[in-house]
Amino acid sequence: MKSETNPSQQTVSAQTKTSLIQLPKKSILLPKERNRLALRFNPAAWAKLAYFRDKTENEVGGFAITEVDDLLNVQEFITVKQEVTSISVKFDDIAVADFFETQVDLGRKPEQFARIWLHTHPGDMSEPSGQDETTFGRVFGKCNWALMFILAENNRTYAKLSFNVGPKGEILIPVEVDYSQAFGPSDHKLWDEEYQANVSHAAWLSDFDLFTGETTGFKDIPASGRSYDFIGELERLDPIERQIVLDELANRPDLWNDGEVMFI
């Protein structure tokens, strides 16, 4: 809960626990200004995000590119190399660095390309998972402000604007697709190529062959993978098999070392 205490007396954890503030029904903002406090999508950017969502049973993530004079007006959705599951997106941090460099070369400011994290959910739930919240805090917590946006199936959305300066806080804001602005055509061929180049499905334990000690490579996660019980399966193994699996995981720090890779 937000309190009336002097901000300087608040601890860091108290600040991060700031509860969500719903927009008041009666706003003191003028209608024109009120309309601006929304995450607005150019229809082409929205179409691309929805297209990526519908290509997979997994999540897909990327960054929003916004206009320099309207930082909540999303002009583009751009992906970077990532490993995905039905419940997570993990960006490759070298790819993120390359993306940032390219954007700077294009003359854009970080507020235009590194503040809004867009990702899709394969199910009907647009609310963030615990992992989403952890990632958002860890990756974007040092920015003055940042926004987490989620697009689920049936076009359900979630947009949380978080600001880490001044009184600090988080606010859920409305989402609009703004058909009043000019927008480009779809390009499924190009989008397919981008998807193929950037999005790979994470390998799961079931890819590991206990008898040959080899992994069978990256595979699509089967539908049942959504409820894959990793810990349960590990516990059911006999001690020798379990040790083989743990040794294999130890040799694959990329699967669990989030110091190396940006988990989103």
For Zn ion, the binding residues (CB under 5 A) are 132
E-strand ranges in the chain read 20-21, 39-41, 60-67, 70-78, 82-84, 89-91, 116-120, 145-151, 157-163, 169-172, 175-177, 199-201, 262-263
**Angstrom distance (rounded) from CA 136 to CA 262:** 11
Nearest approach, Cβ of residue 6 and Zn ion (Å)? 35
Nearest approach, Cβ of residue 153 and Zn ion (Å)? 13
Is the Cβ of residue 92 or residue 132 nearer to Zn ion in the bound state?
132
Residue least distant from Zn ion (Cβ): 132
Is the Cβ of residue 83 or residue 132 nearer to Zn ion in the bound state?
132
Q: Mutual orientation of helices 43-54 and 188-198 as an angle, nearest 10°?
A: 50
Is the Cβ of residue 103 or residue 136 nearer to Zn ion in the bound state?
136
Nearest approach, Cβ of residue 65 and Zn ion (Å)? 20
Token pair 């899709």 is found at: 120
Nearest approach, Cβ of residue 214 and Zn ion (Å)? 32
Token pair 């390998």 is found at: 203
189 to 56, 60, 193: CA distances (angstroms): 16, 18, 6
Is the Cβ of residue 24 or residue 130 nearer to Zn ion in the bound state?
130
Is the Cβ of residue 78 or residue 87 nearer to Zn ion in the bound state?
87
Nearest approach, Cβ of residue 123 and Zn ion (Å)? 10
Q: Which long-range contacts (CB under 8 A, 24 or more apart) does 90-96 make?
A: 90/202, 90/261, 90/262, 90/263, 90/264, 91/61, 91/261, 91/262, 91/263, 91/264, 92/261, 92/262, 93/260, 93/261, 93/262, 95/198, 96/262
Is the Cβ of residue 96 or residue 148 nearer to Zn ion in the bound state?
148
Nearest approach, Cβ of residue 131 and Zn ion (Å)? 7
